[in-house]
Amino acid sequence: MIRHLLSGADLDAATATRILDTAAEMATVAGREVKKLPALRGRTVVNLFYEDSTRTRISFEAAAKRLSADVINFSAKGSSVAKGESLKDTALTLQAMGADAVVVRHPASGAPHRLAEWVDGSVVNAGDGTHEHPTQALLDAYTMRSRLGRLAGLSVTVVGDVLHSRVARSNVLLLSTLGAKVTLVGPPTLIPVDWATRAAAANTSGGGAAQSPDITVCYDLDAVLPTSDVVMMLRVQRERMTDSYFPSAREYARRYGLDGQRMRRLPEHAIVMHPGPMNRGMEITPEVADSARSTIVEQVTNGVSVRMAVLYLLLGGNNA
């Protein structure tokens, strides 16, 4: 069993599937009168958030509390961190408080890896810089599986600012592990050069790219819609415009935004996902976001179940 969850790459197919199966059981708790399980009684989970992310923090908090863990919320703002305390000193403090797990959100890629070296407890990456957000990928996979019944063989199209997206990185890793085919779509400026060139090389040499994950890159959204089972729209920050990643929000929306017209090109069964928070009118129109294909609200609900499963698997036994 894994000790930390830092990256989608930490999960092999068996472990990932076990998390999804466990999450399915955890989901039944939400329908009960007593939405609580005693599994993590006496365990302490610290939410260490260096970035404001109310939705992710609340999701982890609900997950930990439903498993009866004690939850300590440690927000960097207005704390010792704001006074200049280093990550290592914070880690030693959490260690001294007996944290069994630290759920960390941090603007610097790799901060959870550093933390894992300094604390004895389990570290769960709740989003680090432009690196990864593995529980988001798990909840996305869970949502796909519950809507479409499977993951193996699904065509998943991830659209937008892949370059800066931790959601995209974790999804690419996890979905490849679980047998889905991932296509990345976006302006070439927002696709990592390495992935773009590797995908291009794989195309010309008839597949068999040197390294996993196995991905396809396409710059034309309309071309991939008819064969997509899942379209995952990534949030695009308007600031990218000032850095010349694309000329204007209008042009971005026209080329890579998902509107009703484009949505109707999808197969009947296809679903539309978004990790939130959305920029309505930028990468997704309200018509799409509020349509029956949209899983955006389910993703939030599933987030709690998946995080319960992760916390249980990390802390439920003596493996921590």
Partner 1 sequence: MTAYLIKGVSLLGAEPTDLLIRDGVVAETGADLAADGATVIDAAGLVALPGLVDLHTHLREPGREDAETVESGSRAAALGGYTAVCAMANTSPVADTAGVVEQVWRLGREAGLVDVQPIGAVTVGLAGERLAELGAMADSAARVRIFSDDGHCVADPRLMRRALEYVKAFDGVIAQHAEEPRLTEGAQMHEGAVSTRLGLTGWPAVAEEAIIARDVLLAEHVGSRLHVCHVSTAGSVEVLRQAKARGVRVTAEVTPHHLLLTDVRAETYDPVYKVNPPLRTDEDVTALRAALVDGVIDIVATDHAPHAVEDKECEWAYARPGMLGLETALSIALEVLGPRWDLIAERMSRTPARIAGLESHGLDPAPGVPANLTLVDPAARRVVEPGELASLSRNTPYAGMSLPGRVVATFLRGEPTVLDGKAVK
Partner 2 sequence: MACPPAAESPPARQPSVKVILASADVQRVVDRIAHQILEKTQGAADTVLLGIPTRGAPLARRLAARISTFEDVAVPVGVLDITLYRDDLRRHATRAIGPTELPPGGIDGKRVILVDDVLFSGRTVRAALDALNDVGRPSSVQLAVLVDRGHRELPIRADYVGKNIPTSLAESVKVTLVETDGTDGVKLYGGTTS
Pick one of partner 1, partner 2, none as the site partner of residue 1 (Cβ within 5 to 8 A by kind).
partner 2
| Helix ranges (DSSP H) in the chain | 13-29, 54-66, 87-96, 111-118, 134-148, 166-177, 193-204, 221-224, 239-242, 249-256, 260-263, 286-289, 296-315
* Tokens matching residue 11: 């999960």
Binding residues for carbamoyl phosphate: 55-56, 105, 133, 136, 276-277
Give, as ranges, the residues between 64 and 83 that touch partner 2 (CB under 8 A): 67
28 contributes a contact to partner 2 by CB under 8 A: yes
Choice from 14, 33, 96, 292 touching partner 2 (CB under 8 A):
33
Torsion angle (degrees, nearest 10) of CA 242, 240, 104, 183: -170
Strand, coil or helix: 92: helix
Measuring CA to CA, which residue among 148, 136, 110, 89 is closest to residue 277? Answer: 136
Give, as ranges, the residues between 42 and 71 that touch partner 1 (CB under 8 A): none
d(CA 289, CA 151): 22
d(CA 316, CA 310): 9
Binding residues: 55-56, 83, 105, 133, 136, 166, 235, 276-277
Sign for the CA dihedral angle at 126, 141, 2, 307 comes to positive
110 contributes a contact to partner 2 by CB under 8 A: no
Cis ω before 38 (30° cut-off from 0): no
Choice from 6, 7, 8, 22 touching partner 2 (CB under 8 A):
22
d(CA 248, CA 255): 11
Give, as ranges, the residues between 173 and 202 that touch partner 1 (CB under 8 A): 192-195, 198
Choice from 212, 248, 261, 319 touching partner 2 (CB under 8 A):
319
Give, as ranges, the residues between 77 and 136 that touch partner 1 (CB under 8 A): 86-88, 106-111, 113-114, 128-132
Task: Write down the least CB distance from residue 1 to partner 2, Å.
Answer: 6
240 contributes a contact to partner 1 by CB under 8 A: no
Which residues contact residue 205 at a Cβ distance below 8 angstroms, ignoring those fewer than 6 apart?
Answer: none
CB 176 within 8 A of CB 248: no
18 contributes a contact to partner 2 by CB under 8 A: yes
1 contributes a contact to partner 2 by CB under 8 A: yes
Pick one of partner 1, partner 2, none as the site partner of residue 154 (Cβ within 5 to 8 A by kind).
none
Choice from 110, 192, 281, 316 touching partner 2 (CB under 8 A):
316
Binding site for partner 2 (CB under 8 A): 1, 18, 21-22, 25, 28, 32-34, 36-39, 67, 312-314, 316-319
